[in-house]
Amino acid sequence: MGVRIDVDLSSHFPRITDGILAGFVRGQNMAAEELVKLSAARAPMDDEGTLVGSIAAVHADNPGEDAGVIADTPYAQRWHEDGALVDSLGRRYPGNSDFQNNRTSHYFSGPAEENKDELGKIIAMEAGRG
């Protein structure tokens, strides 16, 4: 004589996976907010602080969407990419500048690459919380 217990978890899978996906979205948004801070500390400062002030997170709302970070000024992309160029007067500019106070070009991609493990941990932690 014995006791047998059957446990059926299949009815809980949608709730579990929905929680993980919601946590993943939440984690992406938190990681984007962290990247905003890291990028703002590296972005070149113009006289008014317009570039740094324009850096913002774009939140994901649903699973399958990506969170991101943007800077909304006319020169944000130029200063980020900061490649070599020749201006209209024929002057050569080497690019990859170091701006004032240790601020640099590649102010999104640099901090993202340097902190990818930490940003990934934020996402993983929130996904694990479900």
Tens of pLDDT, residue by residue over 47-67, are 778 899 999 999 999 999 999
**Torsion 34-46-71-108 (CA) sign:** negative
Every domain of the chain and the residues it spans = 13-125
Instruction: Please check the confidence at residue 109 and state whether its pLDDT lies above 70.
Output: yes
CB-CB contact of 51 with 71 (8 Å): yes
Instruction: Please check the confidence at residue 10 and state whether its pLDDT lies above 70.
Output: no
Tens of pLDDT, residue by residue over 65-104, are 999 999 998 888 877 887 776 667 777 767 666 677 778 8
Query: How far apart are alpha carbons 76 and 46 in whole angstroms?
Result: 11
Q: How does the average pLDDT of the chain come out, rounded?
A: 86
Mean pLDDT for the stretch of residues 15-22: 88
pLDDT score for 11: 65
